Structure 1
Amino acid sequence: MAEYNQLTPELIAELENIVGGDNCLTGEDINEDYSHDEMPIYGTHMPDAVVLPANTDEVSAIMKLASANNIPVTVRGAGTGLVGGSTPLAGGIALCTMRMDKILEYDENNLFVRVQPGVRLCDLAADAIDHGFMYPPDPGEKTGSIGGNVSTNAGGMRAVKYGTTRDYVLAMTVVLPSGEVLRLGREVAKTSSGYSLLHLMVGSEGTLGIITELSMKLIPNPKEDMSFILSFSDIQTAIAAVPKIKLAGLNPQSIEFMERDIVDSSAEYTGNKIIPTVVDGNECGAYILVTLDGNDEDEIFQRAETLAEIGEEAGAFDTLVIEHPADKAAVWAARSAFLTVIEAETEHLDEMDVVVPVDKIAEFLGFIHDTGVENDVLIRSFGHAGDGNLHIYCCGNNIEREAFLEKSTRVMHAAYAKCNELGGQVSGEHGIGHAKKEYLRESVGDTAFSLLSSIKQAFDPKGILNPGKVCN
């Protein structure tokens, strides 16, 4: 990282003038949460000041001050990231966007909503439904911010049908490291107008600019949806059914996989035992959770019959229909609780969210579990079977942090090498942050990594914005 100047009392006074004294925190007023994201095992570092701007003008003024005085700035939203992306490694200013939390406008004719970056995913999703729309991206952490989702190109459970966050970004307002304000994109359906700076900003993890406003595409809300649990003897048999489901023309909204151990843990932790563990006298070892949606219940049932036939041919013990709204809510609450359960049961946690070809999921899962055994590391896993995005956690209890990290690092090195061998990618939706930088370099190669660094240099020649992340 570059050399930076320190925040002086005079500069802090200027920050207070920009955002107001109550929205500029220093010293003991800074909550420890601002020193890390949801994975503090990747390191913590306290900022020298936290600022909470309310609009684009305030963000611009902060960045002009930081640029003129060579002060590093780390952007954060709700802090729900998992790769150390919002950790202020160089100190300086932590710029939190969570005061910018307004849903500004619905354009019902052109099917988009305009929001500030601090709007939480759960709030936008619920508000869109109230307006008769669906906001399709559905990352697991519902309290994350929309700005954070865009900054990491979050995917989620509906990506198999509807795509990732990137597919819903029409336009944005961005403040560059210099403080200059840019409007990128337009609220139109398509473009062929030069390099897409808009899509370059999506997934840039706060290293190229600060998003202060977003126009996000909406779709009409499907009138009906149903979920189905297909139970299997083991994960290999379950995963083998996924390509058949995708090729059957069922157009599923989501296809998730779950292993028995995490289902048991979730049931014990939450008291929610909606997912069966014994079906027709058979012990379940793994599950596929499928959601079908549409505008006609009868048509969904027709597709469900095909799904059940595929399940039976693939070795499923049964296909359980989850039709009642309360049961659907319970099933998806159990699925959404998986990471929370793992965190609650684990003293030390390391994670990856690799994405591999769908027909390589079982092979990769077998490899990672074997590697965990070889290194005496417990592996917990679940994820998005429909798109090959796997959430895998190295877990350690009753072990010192450094000893655990030594073991988990060996597992990670082997896992990312296997991911490359299978034609996968380092991250499907969590991003790179500072925890996965070297794995990114190994994956894309020196030439591509240098191009990424050159892009960073073009946007941020002083290197003051979120230093130490992704490629710098």
Structure 2
Amino acid sequence: MAIDKKYLTNRVTGEIGQASAIHFPKTRQEVVKIIQEVRDNQQKLITIGAHTGLSGATFPDDNQVLMSLEKLNKIVKLDIETQTLTVEAGVTIAEISNFLADTPYFYAPDPGSKAASIGGNAATNAGGMRAVKYGVTRDNIRGMRVVLADSSEIQVGSINRKDSSGYDLKDIFIGSEGTLGVITDLDLKIQPKPQFTRDILLGFESLTSLAPKVFEILSSGLVPATLEFFERDSIAFSERALGLAFPKIVGQAFLLITLDGNDSVQLDKELTYLTTLSEHALVLTKETRENVWQLRGAIVSSVELETIQEPLDVVVPINSVAPTILALKKMAKAEALSAIFFGHAGDGNIHANILKNQLTDEEWIGKLNKYLDQLYAYIAKVGGKPSAEHGIGILKKKYFQNYIGKNELSAMKRLKSVFDPTSLLNPGKIFD
């Protein structure tokens, strides 16, 4: 059976890989059977979610067997009493949101791609725009079922709210990018929807003038649901792609902030405080709110419509966001590369999109590699990390291995050898 090219393609580089076969299990038992067959045939296995990843973690670079979990897509149970939603790994974020739409509950993580699967989100510990208040994927999973490389099944975590019963195996598998086991179903933490929300857009002359306001907000005791930053040149891509106009507001750099809660009077007080942080403050109406959030959410996909890009998701201490972006811009200019920057101001997550534009393939590869060497060295120098929410995969592997401590890397490799001694699962990803 011919394999659809989409399962073979590195979404970022466009490179086409090779796989010996692809499977589409519909049950956990079928996952177990596939792992047994792959192991018996001495092959290697790569598990795929919704194929929305940006680190090459599901790229078949050595004729591996592919297993897509897209048909493992049932919403199993909503348990109001434990505030838990049990779903299979192939269920998408959009499907979870739609399922909960008519209930009093919501699943808090809000990653950029709503087409991403919850299993893939767990595999990379996806973050998103509400992480500053509600945490990342790791903070919103209570328990999971995982199939190991020897085809045994284990339960990690539980629907209990507290647990100090031995090692926390759940957190080992979250963020492991399919290298330690296959997540088949999950118990998600859900919570009551806040009754009220307020959104405000603050305009600033530059990132330099914006940066101190982030610290001021976070140290004030106010906990915004979202605290996003972007520049006018970034949002212009979305305007062109969506045919929507960004609100008329003075500034070149912006903070987009959402407040939520059950006390409307308190929210209004917090909103009033935020308006004092900039001469250019715009409280968003329902209509402008929808447009602005569409524009913010579409930046990456809009860039993809115009040019090849290298999408990065570095993270630095929150007091280093603005200096880091200024330094990275200077490096890009020195290499004659175009780049846009945006991200999650509340947790130090910088999205840097490096653009190919009119460069030849040879020029692009040469300039990009030189730039990335400088970029990741700088990120390490300021105490940052190469990935905040996309994972390492193969695209960041070199830089991850260069800047992680030798003892930490050795510990990770030993952990891999315990769960997967023959390197059956997603070999060559994260590290060699």
Aligned ranges 1:357-368 → 2 under 5 Å = 357-368=317-328
Q: Which amino acid in the other structure matches residue 34 of structure 2?
A: I
Partner of 1:322: 284
The one of 317, 329, 337 equivalent to 1:369 is 329
Q: Which amino acid in the other structure matches residue 289 of structure 1?
A: L
d(CA) in 2 for partners of 1:31, 1:317: 53
Partner of 1:386: 346
Q: Which amino acid in the other structure matches residue 284 of structure 2?
A: I
d(CA) in 1 for partners of 2:105, 2:428: 39
- 1:47/1:413 CA distance change after superposition, 3 Å: same
Partner of 1:306: 273
Q: Which amino acid in the other structure matches residue 257 of structure 2?
A: V
d(CA) in 2 for partners of 1:210, 1:252: 34
- Residues 5 and 16 of structure 2 are in contact (CA less than 8 Å); yes or no, is this contact kept in structure 1? no
Partner of 1:33: 6
The CA deviation string for residues 336-391 of structure 1, in whole angstroms up to 9 with x for no partner, is 11001111121x32122110011111110001110001111111111001111001
The CA deviation string for residues 148-190 of structure 1, in whole angstroms up to 9 with x for no partner, is 0000000000000111000011111111112111111111001
Pair 1:294 & 2:261 matched: yes
Computed over aligned residues only, the root mean square deviation of the Cα atoms, in angstroms, reads: 1.2
Partner of 1:204: 176
d(CA) in 2 for partners of 1:221, 1:36: 38
Which deviates the most, 127-136 or 216-225? Answer: 127-136
The CA deviation string for residues 300-334 of structure 1, in whole angstroms up to 9 with x for no partner, is 1111011112x1xxxx232111132x322111101
d(CA) in 1 for partners of 2:160, 2:10: 35
Partner of 1:459: 419
Q: Which amino acid in the other structure matches residue 31 of structure 1?
A: D
What displacement does 1:37 show? 4.2
What displacement does 1:399 show? 2.1
Pair 1:401 & 2:353 matched: no
d(CA) in 1 for partners of 2:83, 2:281: 36
Partner of 2:62: 90
Q: Which amino acid in the other structure matches residue 180 of structure 1?
A: S
- Residues 239 and 257 of structure 1 are in contact (CA less than 8 Å); yes or no, is this contact kept in structure 2? no
Partner of 1:343: 304
The CA deviation string for residues 381-419 of structure 1, in whole angstroms up to 9 with x for no partner, is 110011110010111122222321211111111111111
Partner of 2:292: 331
The one of 416, 419, 439 equivalent to 2:379 is 419
Q: Secondary structure at the match of 1:205?
A: coil
d(CA) in 2 for partners of 1:176, 1:401: 40
What displacement does 1:269 show? 2.1
d(CA) in 2 for partners of 1:354, 1:52: 33
Q: Which has the larger radius of gyration?
A: 1
What displacement does 1:443 show? 2.1
The one of 131, 140, 151 equivalent to 2:123 is 151
Partner of 2:51: 79
Q: Taking structure 1 as the reference length, what is the TM-score of the superposition?
A: 0.89
Partner of 1:469: 429
Q: Secondary structure at the match of 1:106?
A: strand
Identical aligned pairs, as a percentage? 34
Aligned ranges 1:98-177 → 2 under 5 Å = 98-177=70-149
Pair 1:55 & 2:55 matched: no
Question: Is there any run of 5+ residues in structure 2 with no aligned partner, and where?
Answer: none
